[in-house]
């Protein structure tokens, strides 16, 4: 047997970064309407700003106080490469840039002319790039809006799979650049694959985490030349590194994998929530991709933020997932891209749910439950919490939802009963509206207005109200970007005096006073019964 025919596996610490035009890919840079807006009104201006004054960007990136800011973390001596990237975007993504400008023009047309009367005369006045892709409508308060026909936009020039590529490398322990601001340029030791995310060769590669393949087969599947094949070799091993205890043979188990990721298991089934999983198995202080069960019946996505639907993890689950359960969006709202459409175009099986829809799995079921708050008061319906029943326990998956109206949770309890375990996020002083949504705002907002509308979950009082209304017997608070392997996505910095941590301490004290077991989670935790 030749070397190219020996059974091989993908190394545990292989990192897969999905990119669009060099920028790290997430929902709002892949879903076509939102991607066009972010490209035109965030990424292009960001690159232009860097080229005007790279020293400012480099200094800002190296300033801990500005962590998570929109600065390009690329050395000044590579500015010619950044200029080439910008030129290629303006040349090759002209349809997207035209569409984004048309969105802004169309929204202004509505603001100036939709005064409660018939909207029909406005259609001929719309920019040509919007023709056939939008519908104009009023709500019952006579407020006009433009609805985007998303399935059609995916089949228009605005959605271009040629933007997509993947970088493969090995985890080196160095924190990656913040994902929303710095494009990835070619680097030594990094394999660039100019393949769309749904390419079958990527599924063949990711399957090699659990099932053997050969170097020859991977070379053909990934369409590699000799140099690419040699580079790929450094990412492969002759042995798998799967954890022996990744399955269970009796009872139930919940494992905390960091951030908002849980793996709930019985001998018959496995459920994963918001997969955001480390590839680095050298430390022993975390569960990694090695610890995932071979087959996952359901992946539950709570909402579309970049730390809850993490594309680099999701792509690696393709081929080993029964279905990805996602909240149904509001259909055509600019701020609310359809998560189901997004994942289907990436080759993943999808089940869309509304509040109180049930999804069965062997030995249990998942019920979608409402999600309040956390989205800067934007009209976003693509968000859901979940109630999981397995092995005799009921588990509430609260994600970043807020207790701003605790009566909601009374309705959940009346419908589903009391929760044995409740998992909540308490990022109660989140980023302002413009940090994530600036590119979608076709009408400027003041800083004061933006700062008042934050991406915040529950504070101590609200978390307590949720627990009371659910009758929850145990409470667990997610780490909020505190895990060391999440800095490129979270870019959070906390001290012991940080408001969020003080609120968590207050909530834990509230639980102690009432005899409710409660913890602030970090890195890893396991529950068995």
Reported as a single tens digit per residue, the pLDDT across 461-492 is 999 999 999 999 999 999 888 898 898 898 88
Helix (H) or strand (E) segment spanning residue 46:
helix 44-52
Whole-number pLDDT of residue 363: 96
CA–CA gap between residue 111 and residue 143 (Å, rounded): 9
Q: Binning pLDDT at 50, 70 and 90, where does residue 3 land?
A: low
Mutual angle of helices 460-470 and 499-513, in 10-degree steps? 40
H-helix segments, 319-398? 339-344
Cα distances (angstroms) measured from residue 202 to each of 16, 187, 279, 305: 10, 20, 17, 24
Under 8 Å between Cβ of 33 and 300:
no
CA–CA gap between residue 198 and residue 349 (Å, rounded): 12
Whole-number pLDDT of residue 300: 98
Q: Binning pLDDT at 50, 70 and 90, where does residue 407 land?
A: very high
pLDDT at 64 over 80: yes
Between these two residues, 177 and 323, which has the higher pLDDT value?
Answer: 323
Q: What pLDDT digit, counting tens, does each position of 142-156 carry?
A: 999 999 999 999 999
CA dihedral 200, 202, 208, 210 (to 10 degrees): -90
Q: Where are the domains of the chain?
A: 9-93+160-237, 94-153, 253-521
Burial classification of residue 175, based on how many CB atoms lie within 10 Å of its CB (0-12 exposed, 13-18 middle, 19 or more buried): exposed
Whole-number pLDDT of residue 176: 87
Under 8 Å between Cβ of 183 and 72:
yes
Structure tokens at 259: 């951030």
HSE of 205, CA atoms in CB hemisphere, 13 A: 29
**How confident is the prediction for the chain on average, in pLDDT?**
95
pLDDT at 231 over 90: yes
Whole-number pLDDT of residue 487: 87
Report, as an integer, the average pLDDT of 219-236: 94
Structure tokens at 409: 């949770």
* Among the four given CATH numbers 1.10.390.10, 3.60.15.10, 3.50.50.100, 3.40.50.300, the one describing domain 253-521: 3.60.15.10
Residue with tokens 């892709």: 133
Report, as an integer, the average pLDDT of 24-37: 98
Under 8 Å between Cβ of 377 and 333:
no
- Listing DSSP states for 382-420 in one string gives -B-EEEEEETTEEEEE-TT---SSTHHHHHHHHHH---S
Q: Binning pLDDT at 50, 70 and 90, where does residue 523 land?
A: very high
pTM of the model: 0.96
pLDDT at 362 over 90: yes
CA–CA gap between residue 37 and residue 61 (Å, rounded): 24
pLDDT at 495 over 70: yes
Report, as an integer, the average pLDDT of 285-304: 96
pLDDT at 360 over 60: yes
**Of 305, 397, 330, nearest in space to 359 by CA:** 397
Under 8 Å between Cβ of 329 and 337:
yes
Q: Binning pLDDT at 50, 70 and 90, where does residue 2 land?
A: low
Percentage of the chain beyond pLDDT 70 is 99
pLDDT at 123 over 80: yes
Least confidently predicted of 101-105, 225-229, 278-282, 456-460: 278-282
**Of 86, 493, 485, nearest in space to 289 by CA:** 485
């Amino acid at each position: 047997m030749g070397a190219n025919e020996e059974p091989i596996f993908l190394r545990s610490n292989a990192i897969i970064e999905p990119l669009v035009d060099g920028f790290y890919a997430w929902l709002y840079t892949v879903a076509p309407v939102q991607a066009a807006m972010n490209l035109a009104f965030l990424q292009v201006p960001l690159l232009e700003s860097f080229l005007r004054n790279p020293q400012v960007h480099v200094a800002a990136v190296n300033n801990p106080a500005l962590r998570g800011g929109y600065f390009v973390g690329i050395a000044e001596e590579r500015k010619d490469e950044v200029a080439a990237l910008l030129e290629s975007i303006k040349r090759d993504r002209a349809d997207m840039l035209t569409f984004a400008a048309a969105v802004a023009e169309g929204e202004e047309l509505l603001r100036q002319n939709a005064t409660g009367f018939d909207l029909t005369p406005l259609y001929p006045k719309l920019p040509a790039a919007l023709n056939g892709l939008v519908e104009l409508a009023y709500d019952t308060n006579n407020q006009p809006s433009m609805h985007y026909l998303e399935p059609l936009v995916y089949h228009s020039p605005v959605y271009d799979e040629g933007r997509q590529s993947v970088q493969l490398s090995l985890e080196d322990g160095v924190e990656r650049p913040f994902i929303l601001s710095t494009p990835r340029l070619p680097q030594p030791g990094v394999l660039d694959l100019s393949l769309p995310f749904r390419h079958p060769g990527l599924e063949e590669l990711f399957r090699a985490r659990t099932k053997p393949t050969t170097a020859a087969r991977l070379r053909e599947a990934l369409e590699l030349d000799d140099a690419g094949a040699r580079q790929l070799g450094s990412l492969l091993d002759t042995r798998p590194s799967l954890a022996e205890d990744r399955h269970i043979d009796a009872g139930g188990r919940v494992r905390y994998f960091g951030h908002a990721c849980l793996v709930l298991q019985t001998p018959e089934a496995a459920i994963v929530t918001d997969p955001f999983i480390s590839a680095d198995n050298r430390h022993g202080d975390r569960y990694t991709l090695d610890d995932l069960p071979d087959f996952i019946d359901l992946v539950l996505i709570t909402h579309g933020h970049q730390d809850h639907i993490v594309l680099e993890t999701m792509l690696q689950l393709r081929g080993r997932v029964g279905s990805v359960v996602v909240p149904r969006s509001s259909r055509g709202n600019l701020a609310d891209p359809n998560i189901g459409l997004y994942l289907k175009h990436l080759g993943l099986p999808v089940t869309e749910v509304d509040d109180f829809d049930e999804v069965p799995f062997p030995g249990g079921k998942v019920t979608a439950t409402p999600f309040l708050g956390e989205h800067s008061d934007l009209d976003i319906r693509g968000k859901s919490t979940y109630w999981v029943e397995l092995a005799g326990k009921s588990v509430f998956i609260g994600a970043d939802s807020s207790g701003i109206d605790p009566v909601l949770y009374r309705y959940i309890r009346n419908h589903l009963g009391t929760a044995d375990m409740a998992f909540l996020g308490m990022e109660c002083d989140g980023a302002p509206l413009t940090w994530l949504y600036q590119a979608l705002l076709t009408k400027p907002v003041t800083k004061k207005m933006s700062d008042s509308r934050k991406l915040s979950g529950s504070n101590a009082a609200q978390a307590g109200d949720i627990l009371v209304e659910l009758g929850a017997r145990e409470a667990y608070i997610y780490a909020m970007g505190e895990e060391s392997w999440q800095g490129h996505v979270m870019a959070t910095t906390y001290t012991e005096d940080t408001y969020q941590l003080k609120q968590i301490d207050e909530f834990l004290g509230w639980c102690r006073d009432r005899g409710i077991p409660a913890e602030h989670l970090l890195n890893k935790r396991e529950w068995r019964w």
